Amino acid sequence: EPEVTQTPSHQVTQMGQEVILRCVPISNHLYFYWYRQILGQKVEFLVSFYNNEISEKSEIFDDQFSVERPDGSNFTLKIRSTKLEDSAMYFCASSERGGPKNIQYFGAGTRLSVL
Amino acid sequence: GQNIDQPTEMTATEGAIVQINCTYQTSGFNGLFWYQQHAGEAPTFLSYNVLDGLEEKGRFSSFLSRSKGYSYLLLKELQMKDSASYLCAVINQAGTALIFGKGTTLSVSS
């Protein structure tokens, strides 16, 4: 069964460093998403991406964050200068179509620890 | 704005039936999703409701009442592997973002 894959599974970084989280969406999917989940809290939407453009972003997704589809298979989330409060599980998701009926499939996540 | 409420924790025994409730307040409604999330793992899609009524899928069923802003997930013949968090989420008006509740942690004991 096709799945969303994320690397690395765990990333440890120092405060102020840049990190890039990588995702390979399901191959025929066209819509991509990043969510985060701080330990013990709810899953929060960060950004959605379609046709090489951001479709929507939340207030969490400030200038420190950026997303990119560098090639035909990868989708990345970059955090320019990490802060302690960026420590969370980051989930990538993809869907075949957009709109309300789209089912988003999630990857296993990258646990980011900022020290 | 959007607000989603669900109980924090529930417990049940193997073989039993459990109902996990979710109430929501949204500006516009385009559908409600249920996801299952085992500890440390990805949310996994369970069900989608956009019209009132019951959707049945094996041991799991999901119900929606749009007029009441209410949904529930019904799990029958509980198994130990059903111990997980169950996340209620609504899709925003543009269909670009899922807004999740805090999740209900279900513990199934023998």
What's the pLDDT band for B88 if we cut at 50, 70, 90?
Answer: very high
CB atoms B45 and A104 under 8 Å: yes
At B39, the amino acid letter reads: A
Put residue A100 in one of left, alpha, beta given phi > 0 → left and psi -120 to 50 → alpha.
alpha
The answer to whether A100 and B50 have CB atoms below 8 angstroms apart is yes
With CB atoms and an 8 Å threshold, state whether A56 touches B92: yes
* Cα separation values, A115 from A35, A82, B21, Å: 21, 9, 38
Calculate how close chain B gets to A95, using CA atoms only, in Å.
10
Query: Minimal Cα distance from B28: which residue of A?
Result: A100
pLDDT digits (tens, 9 = 90+) for A8-50: 999 999 999 999 999 999 999 999 999 999 998 999 999 999 9
Residues A42-98: pLDDT tens digits?
Answer: 999 999 999 999 999 999 999 999 999 988 889 999 999 999 999 999 999 999 988
Cβ(B49)–Cβ(B90) below 8 Å: no
Report percent pLDDT > 70 for chain B.
99
Beta carbons of A56 and B96 less than 8 Å apart: yes
**CB within 8 A of A16, min separation 6: which ones?**
A81, A82
Judged by a CB distance cut-off of 8 A, whether residue A107 touches chain B is: yes
